[in-house]
Chains A and B, each alone.
Chain A
């Protein structure tokens, strides 16, 4: 087999220019696919990186679930069941309040564990004291209060909550909160929330269930298993992994479409190989006749031509990968500053990402196309009539 390749190699060497042109043809196609795929992969990696930066992957947010049309509420027993799966398990309540100036805000009734789980950090002021009507504000809502209500840390603010009785009748309750602290901005919905003591919140609303649970794990690798277990309890889970998954799904689809269009150039490369091989069979008709007369089987002839195609595929794949890396580098060095300047998005390290899978795919595509393109010419060579072939000079 090795010898078949050596003989094929020699055959290709005798037609250097032609071989070089085919190699270029196929490798340009491979380079286009590799470059475009690296762009798709780069965008995906950057998007996932952004999500990972702003989200905690070890956190699962549990909310009430729906099963067979019934709402599964988060009761004390559910909290106890969930607490088996996380290192920190913090149930909380969430209610809508409105100030007298009609500023709506959400207040979460939380415990100390919640602060741990969400890793909340104060920017100013201090933490709320349990059993009091003190609140800590997220950065956005804090700014809103300061601008609209003129309420700063240390001030009180009057708010109203609307409660619905069992018959659906609404009653309003007025509360006066004391603002004691403001959180650092996080870029998440925490910025729009206010935080108060959970027991006070439940006392105000009279709720005997929770609106959610924050489950914090030690390692992000534990997230999927914990999540599956909690979902088995009938509750709904959300984690940053959901967003990563959806980014991956979208980008895979986009990359696939882009790669499909760029692979049109591969078809051209494949046709070039078919054409060149047919010409080569024609030129070597006489030689094929001799080869058959001295004992080559049809399979030997097919092997002879396919070996040449495999060599073209391998070399084309390597060259294509090299050109693809260069193409990818070009996209990165030209495209990145342009995107940063035009979209004004924060600078990121690379626009394109090359990984071993992309290179392996490029290599394989080249090999497969070369071999497929060689099948018909090889078959034609094998089927040549030796008498006619020998007569041709």
Chain B
């Protein structure tokens, strides 16, 4: 009723297979991108940029990577924090050791380091499945924790083990103001999301999904499990690695291995599960939920309490934040086990065939 595709005839296969086959979708996405690129920098405050938008964009990118592995290829991974760390430290080493190394190639090289690392720790996936694989990928996490704490060379012999970067530039333009950092993250995210979307629509994405749905059947119809699984690990860890580089370089500026602890692996997995497994869109919803909601609750709860004349302490807020956050996760998973992305598509269906979609 609100938006219909009546009269939009597809006359070529190309038109039928595009990412957004409905004209309204294309318009909305175009407007959204224009809004994100041009209007948001005019409206957002420094705080909104640095504390909410930039971490949201970077975590969306990381969740996108995790979604390829977990959502599309069905390989549960708890090693995402390690891939982030390898990407960050890889980019760092290229950045400080090679004089005049530009930022973007450093990030890409960091991503490639993560790719190699991901393939290495993806090897167990050829033999073990499901929860056992989750445990095997946890090894990646512990290995990276150990590696970046103990191997001094990787942290440029910094005595405290903490490293930092500064003087970031892209094409000669300094990346120090909040909007410039935002643009960089948004640009990387858009390019990566487009690549990821096209990959999962293509032959390789179909192989991943076939492996996810039933690997024996996939093998029978001629899909090589090794190639499919390892390529999913490679692509996923590349994206996560680039996200790790951005998280370290753009968001934190100075970091230690604890910034990529197992905690962040779990958070990324939750993002993907809550956002929607096997959905590019879901990665964004999940990241928004996990990144923004705690910060929002943290600031909103004291105000809500203030409205009814109560004063809650900082500790009270922190505890309430965790409780409400946990309750919301449970609630969302009960009402919509397929994640926020499914809610979104149900909503879209309802708009197309009001009020009863099939």
| Chain B binds chain A | no
Chain B positions near chain A (C-beta within 8 angstroms): none
